[in-house]
Amino acid sequence: MKKKTRRLLLFIIFLVLPAMAIGAYIVYMQFEGNMDSFAKIYEELSKRGIKELVLGKLFDKNDIDTELDNESIAQEERNKEIDARVPVTVFTAFVTGFRDTLPALGNLKGHRETKLGFEKTGIIKSFNFKEGDLVYADALIASLEKEEAKIKVRHAEAKLNEAKASLSLAKNKLNRITQKFKLGGTSESLYEEALLEYQRSTHILESTKIDNENAMLDLKKCDLFAPFEGVLGNKYVEEGETVTPNTLVCDLIDVSYMVVEIGIVERDIEKIVQGQRVSVFVDAYPEREFIGTVEMISPVVEGQSRTFSVEIKLSNPQKLLLPGMFARVKINVFEQKNALIIPTSALVRFRNKYSVFVVNEEAGTVTERPVTIIYSSTDYAVIARGLKEGELVVIGDKEGIGDGSPVKVIEHQVPEI
Give the pLDDT confidence of 15-59 residue by residue, as tens digits. Answer: 666 667 666 666 555 555 555 554 555 555 455 554 444 444 444
Q: CA–CA separation, 371 vs 384, rounded Å? A: 7
Mean pLDDT over 77-91 rounds to 71
**Among 327, 331, 329, which Cα is nearest to 270's?**
331
pLDDT of residue 16: 61
Q: Within 10 A of 395 (CB to CB), how many other CB atoms are there? A: 20
Q: CA–CA separation, 65 vs 336, rounded Å? A: 67
pLDDT of residue 55: 43
pLDDT of residue 155: 95
Q: CA–CA separation, 271 vs 257, rounded Å? A: 25
pLDDT of residue 6: 65
Q: How confident is the model at residue 249 (pLDDT cuts 50, 70, 90)?
A: very high
Task: Indicate the domain borders of the chain.
Answer: 1-33, 36-83, 86-98+337-413, 114-235, 253-335
∠ Cα 12 17 23 (to 5°): 140
CATH superfamily of the domain spanning 253-335: Efflux pump adaptor protein, beta barrel domain (2.40.30.170)
Those residues with Cβ within 8 angstroms of residue 300's Cβ, 6 or more apart along the chain or in another chain: 308
> CA-CA distances (angstroms) from residue 93 to 97, 344, 383, 412?
13, 12, 9, 12
Q: Which residue has the higher pLDDT, 44 or 120?
A: 120
* SS3 state of residue 239: coil
DSSP state, 406?
B
pLDDT of residue 221: 94
> CA-CA distances (angstroms) from residue 371 to 28, 51, 264, 361?
75, 59, 31, 20
DSSP state, 73?
H
* HEC profile of 302-358: ECCCCEEEEEEEEECCCCCCCCCCEEEEEEEEEEEEEEEEEEHHHCEEECCEEEEEE
DSSP state, 85?
S
Q: CA–CA separation, 408 vs 393, rounded Å? A: 13
Those residues with Cβ within 8 angstroms of residue 281's Cβ, 6 or more apart along the chain or in another chain: 288, 289, 290, 327, 328, 330
pLDDT at 280 over 70: yes
Q: Distance between alpha carbon 277 and the CA centroid of its chain, in Å?
A: 12
114-235 and 253-335 in the same fold: no
Q: Is the dihedral of CA 171, 174, 176, 178 positive or negative?
A: negative
Q: CA–CA separation, 252 vs 295, rounded Å? A: 22
Q: Distance between alpha carbon 49 and the CA centroid of its chain, in Å?
A: 69
**Among 304, 254, 262, which Cα is nearest to 280's?**
262
Q: How confident is the model at residue 73 (pLDDT cuts 50, 70, 90)?
A: low
Those residues with Cβ within 8 angstroms of residue 408's Cβ, 6 or more apart along the chain or in another chain: 82, 85, 86, 87, 88, 364
Give the pLDDT confidence of 125-140 residue by residue, as tens digits. Answer: 999 999 989 999 999 9
Q: How confident is the model at residue 343 (pLDDT cuts 50, 70, 90)?
A: very high
Question: In 111-230, where does DSSP find H-type helix?
Answer: 147-183, 188-220
Q: Which CATH architecture has domain 114-235?
A: Up-down Bundle (1.20)
Considering the entire predicted model, what is its pTM? 0.56
CATH hierarchy code of domain 86-98+337-413:
2.40.420.20
Candidate from 54-58, 193-197, 206-210, 380-384 with smallest mean pLDDT: 54-58
Mean pLDDT over 407-412 rounds to 90
Q: Which residue has the higher pLDDT, 182 or 72?
A: 182
Task: Work out the percent of the chain whose per-residue pLDDT is above 70.
Answer: 80
pLDDT of residue 31: 52
pLDDT of residue 53: 42
Give the pLDDT confidence of 255-276 residue by residue, as tens digits. Answer: 999 999 999 988 888 889 999 9
pLDDT of residue 72: 59
Mean pLDDT over 229-257 rounds to 93
Q: Which residue has the higher pLDDT, 152 or 37?
A: 152
pLDDT of residue 140: 96
Mean pLDDT over 188-193 rounds to 88
pLDDT at 292 over 60: yes
